[in-house]
Amino acid sequence: MRGRRALLPWALLGLPLGVIALLLLFPIGRIVWLSFRDFKLRNLVSGESDFIGLANYVTLLTDPYLWRIVLVNTVVFAVVAVITTVVLGTLVALLLAALAPVPRIVVVSCIMVAWAMPAVSGTYVWIWIFDVDQGVVAQALSSLGLIDQSGHNWFADRFWFYAIVTLNIVHSGFPFVAVTVLAGLLTVPRELYEAARIDGAGAWKRFWHVTFPTLRPVFAVVTVLSTIWDFKVFAQIYLMPGGDVGGSRMLNLGVWSYVRSFGQNDFGMGSAIAVMLTLLLLGVTVVYLRALFREDEIE
């Protein structure tokens, strides 16, 4: 009888775990398998490939393009985008918490439009805004005499390219952070804020000593999710002018993996890049969680 009870949870979880293994674990295993092989277009046709061990990883880790361009783009962009998204989302959440119910619903409905917009559509909107000739920014700056009438190609410069991508990511990501943090703010007891005011705490001290400790799990969730999303950004970079070129200074790890796999037909190297991106994400997530929570809280 006890044996049946012990097997019952596994029996109920068997089907969901099988679906997860099929949809997630098998593709991951397949990518890891490809990263250890010389797998190009001819191998895709024949179905056969040669095992080359760590050769793809050695080539990847000794490539200056990885360290000087791609890794810098990936890490710096993700850090800036995550910090900006979480800070802006938190500020918007604090504003929403101070509003009356009806205005709050209106504002939340408006900002959720940005979050619901597909990545492709949102990216093309930003491309149009910063278009060299007909873009809103180019026309405004040209009318003020700040740039030449011929326009300025924002996408040709590495800094401005990623500045536009960051605007795109923050614009589409901050509503999720705002609504999630707002849900947490509405659960914080009002008595804590009243006690802090009586003690003479200002707005910043109330946030740092009352709001942040109470909502620490919420900030952990939104930061980890934003980190995962921003480290593996693809469409917002790939669709930008110049973001799909193999030798470009604009690629991050996700786009570089795609370009090496499907643009240059080097699926083994592309898989190795994807594995490196996954390990980087896991490392960043673990480090952040350990820094956010104390060891006794984790245990």
Digit-by-digit pLDDT tens for the chain (299 residues) are 566 677 777 777 778 878 877 888 888 888 999 899 888 888 877 777 888 889 999 999 999 999 999 999 999 999 999 999 999 999 999 999 888 888 888 988 888 888 888 889 999 999 999 888 777 888 888 777 777 666 678 888 899 999 999 999 999 999 999 999 998 888 887 877 777 777 777 778 778 878 888 888 888 889 888 988 899 899 999 999 888 887 788 999 999 999 998 888 889 999 999 999 999 888 888 877 777 666 445 44
Report the interhelical angle of 71-98 vs 101-116 (nearest 10°).
160
Rounded Cα gap, residues 119 and 136, in angstroms: 20
Q: How many CA atoms lie within 13 A of 24 on its CB side?
A: 7
Domain CATH code at residue 81: 1.10.3720.10
Rounded Cα gap, residues 249 and 158, in angstroms: 7
Enclosing domain of residue 209: 24-294
Say if CB 80 and CB 293 are below 8 A apart.
no
Residue 84 lies in a domain: yes
Residue 288 lies in a domain: yes
Residue 208 lies in a domain: yes
pTM (two decimals): 0.85
Residue 18 lies in a domain: no
